[in-house]
């Protein structure tokens, strides 16, 4: 680490920004369990601490990466030269008033779904099995069964790239399938206000249990993975089918590079068999994309995002040329 950066991070440690962890291994903070150390990882407890941190790193030109549970991220084995801001359990308050739920970005998504069920609020059944935090889910308009969380967003609070707190409404977010304009603007999502529909708790619970049963049968759960690697689109479904199907049809189930393997259970999952490197995963993704392109004539795009050592976060397919 350059001396100047070391001094700046030391200065940051004197500020009130939350819990601070120097040289923190990032494989502890993502579901793939891959990644080297970050110079500094910070877990804030409130918005004031986040604003202090963002202002400091912006003024000192320090790379900043914001994460939740890291369920959609591939960290580099060399780690990250800068600061990781983790919004997790310490930043996960939830309030329910009538049919409005207001929650912090670090809230665990299944917890949100269960609380909605208990309150007799519908619209989150498709979220019960998603292993991530609310902030990441909203940023990418995540969901399952072709649904997205953006449908229920009423307002949200963000820190913009200038370090200012802003309130946005649903129209400002530009939600589309597994995407939003928030992803490219550098905003840090802090809190979300969700408008729900009244429902029957018993019916909602049955739908959630059915979804969880389907997930247990369909998806690999015990071996570290990031969930779906490749993006499923409406065009893809109409022309060639979902990613898992076309990867399987290309004969790629069980394909392995190093300790990374295309799952035998669901081909849109790549498993860390134990000690897989970021390079193993990148090379395997590149091989899958090239093979599918050659055999089926369709270009796969990645849902999972790669985090470089310089703090650049982008879909893996855009990062492949520089790393493989």
Just list the catalytic residues.
Answer: 178, 228, 303
- Where do the DSSP E strands lie in 7-72? 19-25, 37-43, 64-67
DSSP letter, residue 240: T
Q: How far apart are CA 208 and CA 138, in angstroms?
A: 20
Q: How far apart are CA 203 and CA 3, in angstroms?
A: 59
Q: How far apart are CA 126 and CA 124, in angstroms?
A: 5
Kindly list the strands in the beta sheet with 64-67, ordered across the sheet, starting from the edge strand earlier in the chain.
Answer: 19-25, 37-43, 80-86, 64-67
Q: What is the 3-state secondary structure (H, E, C) of 102-164?
A: EEECCCEHHHHHHHHHHCCEECCHHHCCCCCEHHHHHHCCCCCCCCCHHHHEEEEEEECCCCC
Strands 188-195, 100-104: pairing is antiparallel
CA dihedral 225, 231, 236, 242 (to 10 degrees): 20
For the chain, the C-alpha Rg in angstroms (whole number) is 20
Q: Residues 122, 127, 129, CA angle at the centre, nearest 5°?
A: 130
């Amino acid at each position: 680490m350059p001396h100047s950066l070391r001094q700046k991070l030391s200065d940051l440690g004197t500020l009130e920004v939350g819990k601070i962890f120097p040289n923190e291994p990032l494989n502890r903070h993502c579901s793939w369990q891959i990644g080297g150390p970050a110079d500094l990882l910070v877990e804030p407890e409130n918005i004031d601490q986040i604003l202090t941190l963002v202002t400091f790193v912006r003024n000192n030109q320090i790379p900043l990466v914001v994460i939740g549970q890291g369920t959609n991220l591939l960290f580099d084995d060399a780690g990250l030269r800068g600061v990781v801001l983790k919004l997790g359990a310490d930043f996960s308050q939830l309030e329910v008033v009538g049919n409005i739920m207001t929650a912090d970005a670090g809230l665990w998504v299944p917890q949100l779904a269960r609380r909605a069920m208990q309150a007799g609020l519908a619209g989150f059944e498709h979220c019960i099995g998603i292993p991530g935090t609310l902030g990441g889910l909203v940023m990418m308009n995540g969901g399952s069964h072709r649904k997205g969380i953006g449908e229920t967003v009423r307002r949200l609070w963000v820190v913009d790239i200038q370090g200012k707190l802003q309130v946005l409404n649903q129209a400002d977010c530009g939600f589309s399938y597994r995407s939003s304009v928030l992803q490219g603007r550098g905003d840090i999502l802090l809190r979300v206000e969700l408008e729900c529909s009244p429902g029957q708790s018993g019916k909602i619970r049955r739908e959630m249990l059915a979804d969880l049963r389907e997930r247990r049968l369909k998806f690999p759960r015990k071996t570290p993975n990031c969930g779906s690697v490749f993006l499923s689109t409406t065009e893809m479904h109409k022309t060639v089918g979902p990613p898992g199907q076309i990867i399987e049809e290309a004969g790629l189930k069980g394909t392995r590079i190093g300790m990374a393997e295309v799952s035998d259970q669901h081909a849109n999952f790549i498993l860390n068999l134990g000690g897989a490197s970021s390079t193993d995963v990148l090379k395997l993704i590149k091989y899958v994309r090239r093979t599918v392109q050659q055999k089926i004539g369709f270009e796969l795009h990645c849902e999972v995002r790669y985090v470089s050592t310089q703090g650049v976060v982008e879909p893996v397919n855009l990062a492949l040329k520089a790393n493989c």
